[in-house]
Amino acid sequence: MRKKTVIQTLGAVSALSMALHFSALADDPSRFVEGTDINGIEIGGLTEAQARETLENALAAGYQLTVKEKGGKSEVISGAAIGCRVSVPEHLNELLSSQNAGGRQSGPSAANSYSISVHISYDEAALAAQIRSLACISGADIVQTRDASISPYREGAPFSILAEVQGNSLNLERTEAAVRAAVASGASELDLEAAGCYEQVRVTKEDASLAALLERMNACRDMTITYTFGGQAQELTGGEIAGWMTGSENGQISIDREKAAAYIAWLAGTYDTAGTARSFHTTAGAEAVLSGPYGWSMDQAAETEALLAMIQTGQSQERQPQYAKEAASRTAPDWGNTYVEVDLGGQHVYFYRDGACVWDAPCVTGNVEKGHTTPEGIYSLTYKQEDRILRGQKQADGSYEYESHVNYWMPFNGGIGLHDADWREKFGGTIYQYAGSHGCINLPPNRTRELYDQLYAGIPVICHN
């Protein structure tokens, strides 16, 4: 019996000690009052540091975001899956101070439950992966929301209006932003529909502008654009145009720009003459096949834009293309009947006006022995200038290879041109083979002014052997 009594006595002493201990805790102003909870987590009897650690660990471990979707469905993103970390604000000690100032009241009638905002950080890549793995984003039951639109082109069939579809597809950018904001604020729930994350129909089949666009697109099926090239014509039919249409955007017909550009490139390849080989009937009666920069050359970029604009009207029309370079005539020969002919083999220059030779003179062209042979080709006069000093390449000492004053300068091929040459006593013959120019056409001084006065910028200059 004595042993039992001792045990009972010891038990009483232990109980009294524990009561005194808890009483001390309850009265300790460095600890939260018993029964205190923050955001539903018990922190009574803990110091500020202990409470902060407890809150951060508990909130991080238990965090999850419920994502509410259309049709009553929901999915959960857990804090563990996104590397969730919680930071409790520094003003936690203000709650403890308020308890101390209020007499440290505890029990059922005491208001010791608090709610505070916390800062949540997370792994950006992990959250992005969780969002994209949601069934509402990547699931098999997603119906894509689609505006009413014009049907694709089908050969032989008119365009029609495809009705709108109000599906359950989400705007990924808006959804990601809404989820990030919800997680960062520590929210436990996000309603995607209330947050405006679902895509909405903007254009219905009753839309008046869509009906007008349909009418214009069907009109394009019947339109014809006729390109004229002098006496020749090339028709672009509505059937071909309709095949370039890819639908509509912002009330305008969407056209495959590459196909339109390819058509213009084909026109240029078919009807341009600049850079192509052409036959020239010489004064001597021969046929010389020549190429060169002179001729018709379409401005393909500008004409592509013009074609796209014409299609938008839906109206048939006739058009002459825009050109980067133009020639004298659209019928062969494209240099017309007013031009300068330089016979390199015969060392003679002729000027034809309206088909009649009205001026001619012997000349000296590029030195063959020194590799300065004047090139053949079809060119045009760049400009003309009086009182000009022609210079060769600049030497290391600052001087020029040559410097020659001319009274009349008429360039047509870069630095090659027609000009007077008062340092020569003879012209024509075979002088050019061993004592010719650096490539220019040297003319008799007493004959050059007459030619100079009749020429103008753009006139064809044709050089042949």
Residue 441 near residue 349, CB atoms below 8 Å:
yes
Greatest CA span in the chain, whole angstroms? 156
Q: Which residues pair with 339 in a beta bridge?
A: 352
Nearest of 347, 375, 373 to residue 438 by alpha carbon: 373
Q: Is the pTM of this model over 0.75?
A: no
- The residue behind tokens 């436990």 is 188
Alpha helical stretches, state H, 31-147: 48-62, 92-101, 124-132, 135-138
What is the reported pLDDT for 198? 97
Cα distance between residue 431 and residue 290, in whole Å: 24
Cα distance between residue 418 and residue 81, in whole Å: 83
What is the 8-class DSSP label of residue 331? S
Nearest of 31, 66, 35 to residue 188 by alpha carbon: 66
What is the 8-class DSSP label of residue 198? B
Apex CA 352: angle with CA 349 and CA 358, to 5°? 85
Residue 443 near residue 418, CB atoms below 8 Å:
yes
Nearest of 365, 384, 361, 363 to residue 376 by alpha carbon: 365
Residue-wise pLDDT tens for the chain (465 aa)? 322 222 222 233 333 334 434 444 447 999 999 999 998 899 999 999 999 999 999 988 889 999 999 999 999 999 999 999 998 888 788 899 998 988 888 888 788 899 888 888 899 999 999 999 999 999 999 999 999 988 888 888 899 999 999 999 999 999 999 999 999 888 899 999 999 999 999 999 999 989 988 998 998 999 999 999 999 999 999 999 999 998 777 778 889 999 999 999 999 999 999 999 999 999 999 999 999 999 999 999 999 999 999 999 899 999 999 999 999 999 889 999 999 999 999 999 999 999 999 999 999 999 999 999 999 999 999 999 999 999 988 899 988 988 999 999 999 999 999 999 999 999 999 999 999 999 999 999 999 999 999 999 999 999 999
Cα distance between residue 191 and residue 180, in whole Å: 13
